[in-house]
Amino acid sequence: MYQIKTIGVLTSGGDAPGMNAAVRAVTRAAIVNGMRVKAIYRGYKGLIDGEVEEFTTQDVSGIIQRGGTILKSARCEEFKTEEGRKKAYDTMQREQIDALIVIGGDGTFTGARLLAQEYNVTVIGVPATIDNDLWGTDSTIGYDTALNTIMDCVDKLRDTGTSHERVFVVEVMGRDAGFLTLNAAIASGAEAAMIPERKTVEEQIEEAIGQGRRKHKNSAILLVQEHSIEGGAQAVANIIEKSHPEYGTRVTILGHLQRGGTPTASDRILASRLGCHAVLALLDEQRSIMIGMQNGNIAYVPLTQSIKQKKDIGTDRWNALHMLSI
């Protein structure tokens, strides 16, 4: 196989806490193993526009604890076109980048896969998204930090919710997946988690605050995944206000604060391990794979599978929440 001398690294899609730790790991592991590293700014947009800079080990000093991404990120429509990917490939040729390590989520991997197919480029994916929606890895970089952020917010809302005996409807991110919402609900002792993977929202509302289940509680916190119902948390609040006008209902949309903040130890360690292994996978002549973490062990997962297979949320967490939220 063609020897890889220079690696390009980029972060793309929604930023996630721990992306910087992954950039640091890729950079240092590559240099330690005798490769050069070219950092690409603003994700695929920067690859198209040639925003490339060679990194030394010092360029990634002092970033392991920082949220966001020093490489910046973008959602790039142009890269979805053949012309866009051609320009990206031209930049790789010009900069003599032999392999790309892309740090991001589903959209990032979809783009990487197309580039790999069309130009026979070597790409490795490092899963980073707060949504935790990639198949083949137990956790994605940023997920644990976002989960903790949501839990902290809900703890604060609980104080005012119980004081005023109100129902708080809290909107949580997650794109098509309910991992953040369901696990944050368990961790914060919320009364319900409305997620796209489960029954209709109306049924869930009735279960959570309807007759029978509300015997001992005068307040409630319902977490609503942003896409579990059209209109999100506000739509749920409207339903509750109609069916249970006796409750004072308030809506909180957590929004992009869920993507910020200093990464947890878990995310830093995950990012460091995945980043190192992305480089080792290249030395191992791997291509078009995602580096995943399965039961604490590194796993090589075909990019196609990581994108196409739907990660199952299972039933035990759902059942636990229901048992515990009475």
Which of 127, 174, 232, 292 forms a contact with ligand F6P (CB under 6 A)? 174
Q: Report 133-172 residues binding ligand F6P (CB under 6 A).
A: none
Provide, rounded to whole angstroms, the least separation between the CB of residue 209 and ligand F6P: 26
How far apart CA 284 and CA 326 sit, in angstroms, is: 52
131 is catalytic: yes
Stretch of 126-134, 204-212, 246-254, 310-318 lying at the interface with ligand F6P (CB under 6 A): 126-134
Which of 38, 45, 166, 259 forms a contact with ligand F6P (CB under 6 A)? 259
> Interface with ligand F6P includes 17 (CB under 6 A)?
no
Phi, psi of 174 (to 5 degrees): 145, 0
> Interface with ligand F6P includes 173 (CB under 6 A)?
yes
Angle between helices 106-119 and 82-94 (to 10 degrees): 70
Which of 42, 113, 175, 268 forms a contact with ligand F6P (CB under 6 A)? 175
Tell me the number of residues near ligand F6P by CB under 6 A.
11
Q: Report 50-89 residues binding ligand F6P (CB under 6 A).
A: 75
> Interface with ligand F6P includes 104 (CB under 6 A)?
no
Residue 264 DSSP label: P
Stretch of 129-137, 154-162, 277-285, 305-313 lying at the interface with ligand F6P (CB under 6 A): 129-137
> Interface with ligand F6P includes 130 (CB under 6 A)?
yes
Q: Report 261-320 residues binding ligand F6P (CB under 6 A).
A: none
Nearer residue to ligand F6P within complex by CB, 92 or 254: 254
> Interface with ligand F6P includes 111 (CB under 6 A)?
no
Query: Under DSSP, is residue 121 helix (H, G, I), strand (E, B) or coil?
Result: coil
Please report the sign of the dihedral spanned by the C-alpha atoms of residue 226, residue 231, residue 234, residue 235.
negative
Long-range CB contact pairs, 306-312, < 8 A, 24+:
306/109, 306/125, 306/127, 306/134, 306/135, 306/136, 306/137, 307/106, 307/109, 307/110, 307/113, 307/134, 307/135, 308/135, 309/135, 309/136, 310/135, 311/132, 311/133, 311/134, 311/135, 311/177, 311/179
Provide, rounded to whole angstroms, the least separation between the CB of residue 193 and ligand F6P: 15
Nearer residue to ligand F6P within complex by CB, 98 or 226: 226
Catalytic residue, from 131, 133, 144, 267: name it. Answer: 131
How far apart CA 243 and CA 266 sit, in angstroms, is: 42
H or E element in which residue 297 lies:
strand 297-302
Residue ranges in 125-178 assigned as alpha helix (H): 143-164
Query: What single string gives the DSSP state of each residue in 184-201?
Result: HHHHHT-SEEE-TTSS-H
> Interface with ligand F6P includes 219 (CB under 6 A)?
no
Look up residue 324 and give its two tokens: 């515990």
Q: Which positions lie near ligand F6P, rule CB under 6 A?
A: 14, 75, 105, 129-131, 173-175, 226, 259
Q: Which amino acids are annotated catalytic? A: 131
